Amino acid sequence: MKEPGTGRFADLAMTFLKEEYADSPTHASALGLTEYDERLEDLSAERFEHRRANDLEWLRRFRAVPDDGLGEATIDRDFLVSILRGREIMHDHAMWKRQPATYLGPGLAGVFTLFLHRIRPERDLADAARARLEQVPALIEQGMANLDPALTPPIYVERAIGQAKAAARYARELVPNEVQDKGAREKVAAAGAKAADAYERFGAFLQDLQRKASGGYAVGEAVYGATLREKELLPYDARELRERGRKQYDLLAAEMRRLAKEIAGHEDWVAVLHDLNKVHAADPEGMRREYEEWTGKARAFLQRTGLVTLPPGEKCLVEPSPHFQRPVLAVASYSRPPAFTDSLTGHFFVPFPPDGTPKDEVDERLEGNCTPGIPTTAVHEAYPGHHWHLVMAKSNPSHVRRAFGTSYFSEGWALYAEKAMREQGFFEDARQELYHVEATIFRAARIVVDTSLHMGEMTFDEGVSFMMEKANLTAPNARAEVGRYCSWPTQASSYLTGMLEILGIRTRYLAKKGKSDTSALREFHDAITSSGALPTALAARAIGV
């Protein structure tokens, strides 16, 4: 298929994308563009200032493109404007001076992605990994030069210390094991040892930074609201969103009380969940097998019911989470097939604890992945959640939509997928339904905490207590969750917000079609996921509602 759009906009878009790939080579590699595999990002202060000016110039240029003759490409233009406006809104917050993870991510994900997808022959992968590992020390030096103790929040440093330790082990011990050829493995090991030394230096630097760090994580009400309205194209501000989250929490709590009474004869759903949390696998590998079983059940259910179209050749592998993610991520995650390849294989990562985690904390993490809750997460991450959506999105001919997406659609879709599967009778008993609703009320609690944190109306510890009391999280999982909200403003609110927007789009779509049977639902599901991961207002335009 041809890239949508003609003339000036098509040329502008492709030039912009090429600049993006050159500036973010690890992102380009994740998309399957192998010509960038040997490079890492330049994260110097000078380059960040250049990016800022360049983003503003591109925003001006895309805003100047008229509608005339664009057709469907008006959506791509408006999508690019929203992305660049989102960057402009956050520019003054200067995350590159605040967030140590900025300097850990490229070297870790950039090497991990190479071996995860194995698009190239092993000799080429080994050369690319060696080249990237050799660039890690320079990246770390840039981080130590850029981070400002007066701006850096202590919680950012706390999270990064654990990740730096895991990064050193990953580079020194685990990356070389990806290579079979002895000579190539030795070269990778030598580069990995130098990278590991750099990560250890960074860890020591962070220990010192932790004593000095005094910055705040809150982006402020104005920035949060502008992000919602101008990047995500939503019709409300931070306070309106928080009120929406509170109302949804109350509605969902009523449903939780009803299900708790059905299960246990009383309405104390927190107590029911506390008891059911104890029903879990004996160890992380047992947990992974449960996730794998339910991923298979969800796919078979879709085949049987015809709720979506399953593209031929797609598959989703269920695997332990990467070692370097474990200190900072206590929930399941997903890695999509590279957008610019023919691969339809995705990776569903199960949240293993970091190496050396005490047994009592391992057990607490297993409680957060209990047996009755696993079906919902399998749906969310795999079928018809993230995996199915992102396989379908690969069919869109737009390079812009393959390269970019927003969590307000992708996470909203995955939460919508849970609801749609419940509507169709996938969950087998009230306990599984309770955990489905619990997963949704958890996202309502996220909205309340995320907005409150970033408006400066809730402290970190208050956020942790709220998530433990209101969202059924264990202490380590709650702390990891709230640390994530502090680090990634507005993202935690995307799940339930996006789901509610998608439900509204579905209502309008089915009304326009004049039917709501399985075939109409499948048509809606196939159409909206094939549009990409656009802001929901643009997704509605893409399917004609």
- Residue pair 367/280 in contact (Cβ under 8 Å)? The answer is yes
Q: What secondary structure does DSSP assign to 131-190, as a single string?
A: HHHHHHHHHHHHHHHH--TTT--HHHHHHHHHHHHHHHHIIIIISGGG--SHHHHHHHHH
Domain boundaries defined on the chain: 7-212, 228-542
Q: Quick one: pLDDT at residue 1? A: 35
Prior bond of 384 cis (ω within 30°): yes
Q: Cα–Cα distance between 320 and 349 in angstroms, integer?
A: 5
Contacts 24+ apart (CB under 8 A), 114-119: 114/29, 114/37, 115/175, 115/178, 116/335, 116/347, 117/32, 117/337, 117/338, 117/341, 117/343, 119/32, 119/34, 119/338, 119/341, 119/343
Q: What pLDDT, on the 0 to 100 scale, is given for residue 354?
A: 86
What was the pLDDT predicted at 424? 97
Which residues partner with 315 through β-bridges? 345
Burial of 87 (0-12, 13-18, 19+ CB in 10 A): middle
Largest CA distance in the chain: 66
Say what the pTM is. Answer: 0.94
Q: How many CB atoms lie within 10 A of CB 64?
A: 9
What pLDDT is recorded for position 7?
66
> Mean pLDDT for each 10-residue chunk of the chain (545 residues)?
59 97 97 98 97 98 94 96 98 96 95 94 97 98 98 95 93 94 97 98 98 96 98 97 98 98 97 94 96 98 98 96 77 93 96 89 89 97 98 96 98 98 97 97 97 97 94 83 93 98 98 95 98 98 97
- Alpha helices, H only, 382-429: 386-393, 399-403, 407-423
Q: Which of 467, 518, 468 is closest to 492 using CA atoms? A: 467
For residue 140, CA distances in Å to 39, 101, 136, 162 come to: 15, 10, 6, 15
Instruction: Give the model's pLDDT for residue 27.
Output: 97
State the pLDDT at residue 323.
81
pLDDT at 3: 42
pLDDT at position 4 is 41
Exposure b/e, 343-376, CB count within 10 A at least 16 = b: bbbbbbbbbbbbeebeeeebbbbbbbbbbbbbbb
Nearest to 84 by CA among 63, 59, 62, 60: 59
So what's the pLDDT on residue 6?
A: 53
Query: Which candidate, 452, 460, 454, 455, places its Cα nearest to that of 481?
Result: 460
Beta bridge partners of 347: 317, 335
Q: What is the DSSP letter of 37?
A: T
**What residue has token string 């009120």?**
243
How far, in Å, CA of 545 to CA of 540, rounded? 5
pLDDT in the model for residue 476: 79
